Structure 1
Amino acid sequence: MPISARSLIAGFVLSTFVFFGHAPAAEAANAAASPSAVFKERHGKVLELVKKRADPETLAKEVDQLLDYKALAEASLGGPARYANKCAPRCAEFEALLTKLIRENYLKRIRTDKKYELTIVGEDAKVGGDIRVITNIALTRDGKPEVVEVVYVMHAVGDTWKVEDIVTDGVSLAKNYKFEFNKIIRDKGIDELILRLENKLVELAKKN
């Protein structure tokens, strides 16, 4: 499946696709903790579990506290209004496979990032109530120091914040998936997209 290298770097994850942005939910989330604080806590817990070589189930549960797979799935097919028409009659299969792919890519990035320095630069608001948590990853590539900007777009879900998109050096994971997935569906249908997702997961499993 031609999922780009930038998609893999971003790992996993726009506007609010699953609309939890009503004032009470947003206020509750703000009252509990800021998006950057939630990201720092959740990301830190996943990093510690990776370092401790925690079992896959424990890792998955922790990653699932941070990433909003439903929002990413809907965004990848053009939003909630188009979602059911694009993936029917296999929406449940599509969402389950994409969830696994996003989770595995996020953990892949975590396993790589633990060798580097991740700094939370700050956060800013987007129209609609989303918050961009801006981070920098300092690394060395081909013997030269480099800084990669990774932005986590977060929205209020109940009394917390979750990631609905990951933007690496200006490249959106959700938009990348949208471009790739819709082309596959347009040319060959949802069955082909599901087959390619299955193949990609098999490929990732062989690399782990």
Structure 2
Amino acid sequence: MAVALLLGIAAPAAHAGNAESFIRAKHEQLTTLVAKAKTKADESKLESAFDEVLDYDTLAKESLRDYWDQRSPAERAEFQDILTKLVRAAYRKSLKRIGNYEVEYRGGEKGAAGQIVRTVARNRQNAREEPVSIDYVVRESGGKWQVVDIVTEGSSLVSNYRSQFRRIIKKDGFSELLRRMKNKLEKGDVE
């Protein structure tokens, strides 16, 4: 799966390895933190770890895409704050759910949106359960890797958000989108 063409591609192959190493290390760190998060200090460490991994700026801009430039700086900040909290909560819930799963790393390749690190999660307790493919789209900026999208079974987190957000904005407006996002957060109804 890793891209490897002589000369010019030797660097991207190493680049993919770095992206995979980043995902491996952060997955291990986050899984451990989620499992033992009991105190406020643990929760704070977990939040900081999520913030190191996820590029909320890109997630916010890409999930609104065409509507991003139409928003005021205050609206953008409010949207990004709520989205950040929703994504943290959803990622945490996902990590708890896959605690019984073994993650197999299948290398990486360069994609249009960044390096793609391919993984497959298998249930340790139920071998008959279908494995789940989870691809992480990561970019390096300022010497630091961050996840800009998570694609589960071919379904992009950013594309799903964009589709949902566009539908709500077209029908009911941006303020309704914010209201619904806040409501989901308050109810703990995260996916």
The CA RMSD measured in Å over matched residues stands at: 2.7
For 1:107, the aligned partner's letter is R
- Over 3 Å counting, the alpha-carbon distance change for 1:141 and 1:168 in structure 2 is farther
Pairing 1:62–2:49 present: yes
Instruction: Confirm or deny: 8 A CA contact 2:31 2:95 kept in the other structure.
Output: yes
- Aligned pairs for 1:149-168 (under 5 A) are 149-168=133-152
For 1:47, the aligned partner's letter is T
For 2:18, the aligned partner's letter is S
Query: 1:90 & 1:66 partners in 2: Cα distance?
Result: 24
Partner of 1:121: 106
Relative contact order higher in (CA < 8 Å, ≥ 6 apart): 1
Q: Indicate the SS of the match to 2:112.
A: coil
What is the Cα deviation at residue 127 of structure 1?
Answer: 3.5
What is the Cα deviation at residue 189 of structure 1?
Answer: 1.1
Q: Indicate the SS of the match to 1:109.
A: helix
Pairing 1:102–2:78 present: no
Instruction: Confirm or deny: 8 A CA contact 2:100 2:125 kept in the other structure.
Output: no
Q: Choose 149-158 or 52-61, whichever is displaced more.
A: 52-61
Larger fraction in helix:
2
Instruction: Confirm or deny: 8 A CA contact 2:102 2:124 kept in the other structure.
Output: no
Pairing 1:112–2:115 present: no
Aligned length: 176
- Over 3 Å counting, the alpha-carbon distance change for 1:78 and 1:141 in structure 2 is farther
Q: Indicate the SS of the match to 1:145.
A: coil
* Runs ≥4 residues deviating over 4 A: 86-89, 140-143
Instruction: Confirm or deny: 8 A CA contact 1:135 1:150 kept in the other structure.
Output: yes
Q: Choose 147-156 or 53-62, whichever is displaced more.
A: 53-62
Pairing 1:170–2:157 present: no
Structure 2: which 5+ runs fail to align?
A: 1-10
Query: 1:72 & 1:87 partners in 2: Cα distance?
Result: 17
Partner of 1:20: none
Partner of 2:62: 75
Pairing 1:132–2:132 present: no
Structure 1: which 5+ runs fail to align?
A: 1-25
What is the Cα deviation at residue 141 of structure 1?
Answer: 9.7
- Aligned pairs for 1:82-97 (under 5 A) are 82-86=67-71, 90-97=75-82
Instruction: Confirm or deny: 8 A CA contact 1:78 1:178 kept in the other structure.
Output: yes
- Over 3 Å counting, the alpha-carbon distance change for 1:63 and 1:178 in structure 2 is same
Q: Choose 47-56 or 113-122, whichever is displaced more.
A: 47-56
Query: 1:84 & 1:157 partners in 2: Cα distance?
Result: 22
Instruction: Confirm or deny: 8 A CA contact 2:106 2:118 kept in the other structure.
Output: yes
What is the Cα deviation at residue 87 of structure 1?
Answer: 6.3
Partner of 2:8: none
Partner of 1:181: 165
- Over 3 Å counting, the alpha-carbon distance change for 1:42 and 1:184 in structure 2 is same
What is the Cα deviation at residue 139 of structure 1?
Answer: 2.2
Partner of 1:9: none
Larger radius of gyration: 2
1:84-104 Cα deviation digits (max 9, x unpaired): 305665111110000000011
1:6-64 Cα deviation digits (max 9, x unpaired): xxxxxxxxxxxxxxxxxxxx99x94xx71010111111111111222252211000111
Q: Indicate the SS of the match to 1:47.
A: helix
**Percent of pairs identical after alignment?**
33
